Homo-oligomer: A and B are copies of this chain.
């Protein structure tokens, strides 16, 4: 029995990773309701019970996929912010662009990450990954309004995140710009982003009106 790599071994070797990859693809194809463990197993070419040795339940696999999603989201935000230079306001816009780009490229995964169902299978790793993305955003907002009070900063963190998240969420669901071209849609997104940053900077530069 030569243990040649081409010979199909009894052990898969990287089944856990293969299931995550297959599951992620299946998720985008069929949506959350069409997501099944057995189909993941089929795509990884293993028996229907094999996944149980790597994931205690279907929710565990979803949690792992969502965690991976948060890591990629963080990476996308960081990369786009870096491309935006040193100006804090420009970097904030850039992070928003990265956020939206990730969501647009992985719509179902994005919905899963921010789904109410996610609370059902929350994992320490998932919570940590989500927190990392939050802190990245928080720091970008605070850097844009260094002179603002702690309270104003906090509220602008809320507001900025809500604007970006809300916009891309509505687009993904088809509520906003359904008949727009991708190009026009991106312009609308950028307009929303600059309206947001402008409001944040203005609020952060003033002592707090009313």
Contacts and interface: CB of A to CB of B under 8 A. Distances in A.
B114 A108 contact: no
Taking residues whose C-beta sits less than 8 angstroms from the other chain, chain A's interface range is: 35 or more
Contact of A119 (B114, B120, B174): B174
A177 B177 CA distance: 30
A163 B199 CA distance: 12
Number of copies: 2
A158 B166 CA distance: 9
B118 A173 contact: yes
A164 interface: yes
Interface class of chain A by DSSP: helix
Given A155-B191, A158-B191, A199-B198, A175 B114 contact: yes
A195 B191 contact: no
A151 B43 CA distance: 48
A118 B31 CA distance: 11
Interface of A: 31-33, 107-108, 111, 114-120, 130, 134, 155-156, 158-159, 161-167, 169-170, 172-177, 188, 191-192, 194-196, 198-199, 202-203, 210
